Chains A and B, each alone.
Chain A
Amino acid sequence: MELQENLNTFQSNNVQICAISYDPVEVLQTFSEKHGITYPLLSDTRSDIIRKFGILNTLVPEDHAWYGVPFPGTYIVDENGKVTDTSFYANHGVRDSIPRMLSEHLHISPDGRVVQKLENDTLTATAELSAGSVRRGQIQTFTLEIETRNGRHLHAKPLPEGYLPTELSSDLIEDVAFGEVEYPPGQPFRLEALGETLHIYKEHLTLKASVKNLRREPFTLVAHLHYQACDDRECHLPDHLRFEIPVSYLENA
């Protein structure tokens, strides 16, 4: 049971879970004991809530024993009660993977870290904070893993005039300190035509910064990656990616 295995991650990120079916409580009790399920399995025997959501499976005839089942699916709901993502498949054998939903919709990786992945023609960038919830005084690590694509590279420092370096920064948040970013050295790259040698990042680049929290409330870490991508022939326009990592707050015990 994938959900049960990830229960701690949900709980530590303040996400409540429930599963609804039209089964009587006794059936759910037997099922949860057999499979060791501790999160709420809810009994909607008259399919009232299933109807309220508007997902009663209308393809099942009313006189059939299975009448009352929903179209199976999943909602992810934010703290305002609004749907931020759904996963419904016609094929009853298909279910979204919990780790995928965690990371894509709630920005939580299965072991409790918070991740966000962005992709474009130049690169794939995965931003990650070492914990999804922080206490006051804790220091976390923000990591950005970058893979360049399509034979493109990014610029490292030092750089001659006229080139834009790769830079990671964050929006200011009161009482949250985004530390100095560690930039690894680039590889030398000779531009024969111009007689210049640049330093570049190609294929893989990891950028790290510390995040020190002195707040007593949740916040969203907004980080920016500014870069200019080039390949062996040309340089592209400077570009920018914006990462948003929600961080929940835990009272110090």
Chain B
Amino acid sequence: MAEKLPNGGDPTSEDFSKGPFLGERIPDFSLPDQHGGQFQYRAADRKKSLILFHRSAAW
């Protein structure tokens, strides 16, 4: 990275939003993928899932 994230505070602080807690449901969603398809996450499909959130593939 050319510059640091402008987070101002302590970079090791764990005090930030981490979304749904353990035991909570994640929302269903649908997004385009890199192959031109549409990916759907639906709890009704009853699939175990690993869902990653990344900053960016570009930097």
Which residue numbers of A lie inside 8 Å of B, CB to CB?
A: 3, 10, 13-23, 25, 27-32, 37, 40-44, 49-50, 52-61, 64, 66, 69-86, 88-92, 101, 106
Bound form: Cα–Cα A80–B50 in Å: 13
Give every chain A residue within 8 A of B56 (Cβ-Cβ).
Answer: 21-23, 27, 66, 69
B49 in complex: contacting residue of A17, A71, A86, A91, CB < 8 Å: A17
> In the complex the two chains form, is A20's CB within 8 Å of B31's CB?
yes
Classify the secondary structure of A's interface with B: mixed
B26: chain A residues at CB < 8 Å are 53, 75, 77, 81-83
| Distance (whole angstroms) from the CB of A60 to the closest CB of chain B | 6
By size class, the interface of chain B is 35 or more
A9→B28 CA distance, assembly (Å): 24
- Most central of A57, A66, A83, A92 by chain B CB within 10 Å: A83
Interface residues of B (CB under 8 A from A): 5-14, 16-29, 31-37, 39, 41, 43, 46-59
A23 to B57, CA, bound (A): 7
Interface SS of B by simple majority: loop
Of A72, A77, A84, most B-chain CB atoms within 10 Å: A77
Query: Are B54 and A21 closer than 8 Å at their CB atoms?
Result: yes
Find out whether the CB atom of A90 lies under 8 angstroms from the CB atom of B12: yes
- One of A22, A32, A56, A79 near B34 (C-beta < 8 A): A32
Complex Cα distance, B45 from A78, in Å, reads: 11
Residues on B with C-beta less than 8 A from A22 are 56
Extra pairs beyond A21-B53, A29-B34, A57-B5 (6, CB < 8 Å) = A21-B54, A28-B57, A32-B35, A43-B34, A83-B22, A106-B48
Given contacts A21-B54, A41-B57, A71 and B39 within 8 Å (CB-CB):
no
Query: What is the distance, in angstroms, from A33's C-beta to the closest C-beta of chain B?
Result: 8
- Complex Cα spacing A71 to B14, Å: 11
In the bound assembly, the distance between CA atoms of A22 and B54 in angstroms comes to 8
Contact B57 A16 (CB under 8 A): no
- B12 contacts across to A, CB distance below 8 A: 90-91
A72 touches B53 (CB 8 A): yes
- Tell whether, in the assembled complex, residue A23 and residue B58 are in contact, meaning their CB atoms are under 8 Å apart: yes
Can you list 30 pairs linking A and B with CB atoms under 8 Å apart?
A: A10-B50, A15-B50, A16-B50, A18-B52, A23-B57, A25-B34, A31-B34, A32-B34, A41-B34, A43-B32, A53-B53, A54-B17, A55-B19, A59-B5, A60-B7, A66-B56, A71-B16, A71-B18, A72-B54, A72-B55, A73-B53, A76-B48, A76-B50, A77-B51, A79-B47, A80-B25, A82-B25, A89-B14, A90-B13, A101-B50
